Amino acid sequence: MSDQIPPPPDVYEFSVPAGETLILTKSAPNYSVTFHNGGVQVGAFDFNVTPSTFTGDVDESAKLFVEAVIKMFDAYKATGSIRPDDASLNQDKP
């Protein structure tokens, strides 16, 4: 068994209350974070440009981000892990 940590996936997706979804994407050299509500993008960070930019609804994106962080920490407290494939993070998915 290797002690090396595997590289992170290119896409993280977390379901949050009320069917909202936070999607974090990373693919070299494209770095962006997008926020979706009901399948519609409501905001996006673009870290590919200098200075980095944000477009979209700041309030809705912040709400989704805070809900996702709370859910991840609650999952960590319950399971000791915040990996996106953990069942505790995907419990809102059909």
pLDDT tens by residue, 13-63:
555 666 666 666 655 567 888 888 888 999 999 988 889 999 999 999 999
Domain boundaries, the chain: 11-79
pLDDT at 2 over 60: no
Pick the residue with more confidence: 14 or 94? Answer: 14
Q: How confident is the model at residue 78 (pLDDT cuts 50, 70, 90)?
A: confident
Is the backbone peptide bond immediately before 7 cis, with ω within 30 degrees of 0? Answer: no
pLDDT confidence of residue 77: 84
Q: Is the pTM of this model over 0.75?
A: no
The CA distances from residue 27 to 5, 35, 47, in Å, are: 18, 17, 11
